[in-house]
Structures are given as C-alpha cells and as structure tokens.
Structure 1
Amino acid sequence: MTPAQRRSQLLWIFENELLFQTRHALHAIEPIKGSLFSDNEVKDLEGFWFSMNSALNAIASIANVLWPSQDRKHSGPTAVQSSSRDRAKIMRENLGLSDDSIVALRGVRNGLAHYDERVDRWFVQSGNRIFLDLCVSGNDGVSAEPDTTYARHFNTDTKVLSVFGISLNVEAVLQEIIELNRVVESSIFKPRPGLIRRTVIEGNQ
C-alpha cells in the first residue's frame, strides 16, 4: 500500500466513525425531536435526559475526531499529535466544516463528563444553597433567585442547554450534525482506488 493509499485508508476509517456517531446522535434525539425542533411539551423528563445525554456523547465523539484535544495523552511520540491535527484539518476541509463550528465547543460536554467535579466545586466554592438539576422549562420557568445554581437545564424557548452556566444551542448543533451526516453519507461510499474496505455500516463495501 502506497503512502497515499494509507492516508486514504486513514481518512476513510475516521469517516466511518463519523457516519456511525452522526447516526447515533440522530437516533438518540428521535424520541425528543418534538421538544428540540418545535414547542412540544416534555412529558417524560427522565426519557428526555436519557436521549439528550446519549446524543451529546455521540457529538463529543464527533468533535474528538474533527478537533483532537491539544493535550491528548499519547503513548507514542509527539509526531502522533501532529499527525492527528493534520488529519483532522484535512477532514474538516473535505467535509466543509469551519474551524469554529459549534460542534467543536467543549464546555457543555466537559461539564457533563465531569459532573462530579462540578458538583464538588459548587459545594466548596459557592455560597449558593439552591441546587436544581435535570430541569426543563421555558423562560418563565427559570428561577430569578440570585443564589440558584442549575446543574443541567434545557430551555424550551431558546433550545439552549446549560450545564453549570455553560450554554450550547442544541437546535443549532443538531442541525449541523444532520448536515454532516448528509455529507459523510454522500462521500463515504464513493470508489477509492486501492482501498480495501470492510465495515459493519450497512451499504458500505
């Protein structure tokens, strides 16, 4: 296999991961689409957060592929980090993603991944005594009390998810995931000379 073919293979492997994770995210939000893209009332609060958490985990995996962390812990040489950054840049360009895409934002997903640390920090550093979590409400349901901390809150009016004060427009990020899925779907099945492909993704050869 030539160097060019190896590079093509590498990009194809990661495109398969993007295809899997975009499908994962879209599958996860299916039960709550009415609340995310319209004004349907959230009737199953626990189910809503199950779906939201699953979708955000998939989006985090997408971001890790396209925007590798600068402090990624590699067992190999620093050249691996440089290769990861170069590969991700090529993929973003090929897929038409800007460097400042909303998908790249890490604040909310880091807050979810390190929920325990955020709660411990709140307990030690904050004088707030009102702690609310797993909340879903419109603007009129947000507490005006100055000593209120929202751990996880989704605003049905603005479609913004907040985790300990860090916010993400979920509607906007999912629209970008839908478009990314469309682009990857159209790209990944194109013939690539010299590339031997095996995958569990349906339709891929």
Structure 2
Amino acid sequence: MILFQDMVLIDQIVLQSKIARRAAQRLQSPGNDRVETWSLIQSILVATANVSKIFWPTTKYKGRGERLRQELGVEKNNILSSRKFRNYFEHYDEQVDDWFQSRHGGVYIDLAMNPSLSGVGNGGHRGYNSFDNTLIFRNESLDLGEVLKALEEILNKCQPYTLV
C-alpha cells in the first residue's frame, strides 16, 4: 500500500533519476571541458545517492525503505544500494589524508581521463573512461552505464504513482 508520504518520496526518486539522466546525456556530448565532465559525474553520483538513501535509509527509517522497495519491486542488492563511490567523492579530503599518511612522496594523479588512465590506481585517485563510461577510484571501478540503467528501471516502476 502506497502512503501519501511514499508518493512524495516517489516524486523525489523521479526528480533525482531525471537529474542523473540529464547529466548522463550531457556527459556523452563531445566538447565537454574537464570541469564540466567532472561536474556531470558528480551530479550523477549525488542524484543516485539521493535515490539510494530513500530505498536504503539509516536504521531509523529502515521500514520505509523496505516498504518502498517491496512496493516498487526494487531488489535489496540493487547496484544503487551502495553509496561507496559517492562517498569517495564526498569524503575526498579523508581519502587524500589517508593516502598521504600511508605514503611518503611519490606520484599523485587525480581526475585522469582517457588515455591517461594508466596512472589511476598506482599513483592516483579518480579517473573517468569515456569509452566504456566507467568511473575509477584507485583500483576500483563503477560502470555508470549500469547505474543509469538501474535508475531508469526504477523510474519506470515509479511512473504509475506519479501525476506527470
């Protein structure tokens, strides 16, 4: 059963999904400068995390998250359940501190883009591969295409509950 407060949250899911979709469309446009590219990536991560927080909230609101996931048919282990990559970006200051506490000198590469991705992982933090739409943080990668696909599936499940 969908409650009125659920409808408000579903509208937010729809909005955040559309924000991520628009950023993804602009990300695929040639001619983005470096700041624009990273701004769009950050928009996707934040919008996705906002959806994630609705479906997988803190313990206090756990019941609401379970209710919405069940009502909309969203699997508990959906790719959006993890906010790890968003946290890498949101807590970047901590990542830098940890990196330099464990290393003394050496190479530091950040915001790498094709074709210079080879340095990410060994001496760097963040990278974006526009050829396969993956985001890289150190030695981990996130397929933005899969994230966006999951958002679209959720958006489609929300449509019967929206007025627009």
Normalising by the residue count of structure 2, what TM-score does the alignment of the two structures yield? Answer: 0.87
Superposition deviation, residue 135 in structure 1: 1.3
Q: Unpaired runs of 5+ in structure 2?
A: none
Percent of aligned positions with the same letter in both sequences?
Answer: 23
In 2, the alpha carbon distance for the partners of 1:131 and 1:66 equals: 36
Which of 108, 121, 134 does residue 160 from structure 1 map onto?
A: 134
Structure number with the higher helix fraction is 2
Which has the larger Rg? 1
- Whether the 8 Å contact between 1:107 and 1:166 is mirrored in structure 2 is no
**Which letter maps to 2:135?**
L
Aligned length in residues: 164
- Whether the 8 Å contact between 2:120 and 2:139 is mirrored in structure 1 is no
Q: Unpaired runs of 5+ in structure 1?
A: 35-40, 71-80, 190-202
1:173 aligns with 2:147: yes
Which range moved further: 126-135 or 89-98? Answer: 126-135
Residue in structure 2 matched with residue 50 of structure 1 by the alignment: 39
Normalising by the residue count of structure 1, what TM-score does the alignment of the two structures yield? Answer: 0.71
Counterparts of residues 124-139 of structure 1 (less than 5 Å): 124-127=101-104, 129-137=106-114
In 2, the alpha carbon distance for the partners of 1:186 and 1:33 equals: 29
**Which letter maps to 1:143?**
S
Superposition deviation, residue 122 in structure 1: 0.6
Which of 35, 58, 74 does residue 69 from structure 1 map onto?
A: 58
Which secondary structure state, in structure 2, belongs to the residue aligned with residue 142 of structure 1? helix
- Alignment RMSD, CA only? 2.3
- Whether the 8 Å contact between 1:128 and 1:149 is mirrored in structure 2 is no
Residue in structure 2 matched with residue 59 of structure 1 by the alignment: 48
Counterparts of residues 10-29 of structure 1 (less than 5 Å): 10-29=5-24
In 2, the alpha carbon distance for the partners of 1:43 and 1:20 equals: 24
In 1, the alpha carbon distance for the partners of 2:84 and 2:34 equals: 23
| C-alpha distance after superposition, 1:105-143 (max 9, x if no partner) | 1211110010001001111112461111111225xx432
- Whether the 8 Å contact between 2:112 and 2:120 is mirrored in structure 1 is no
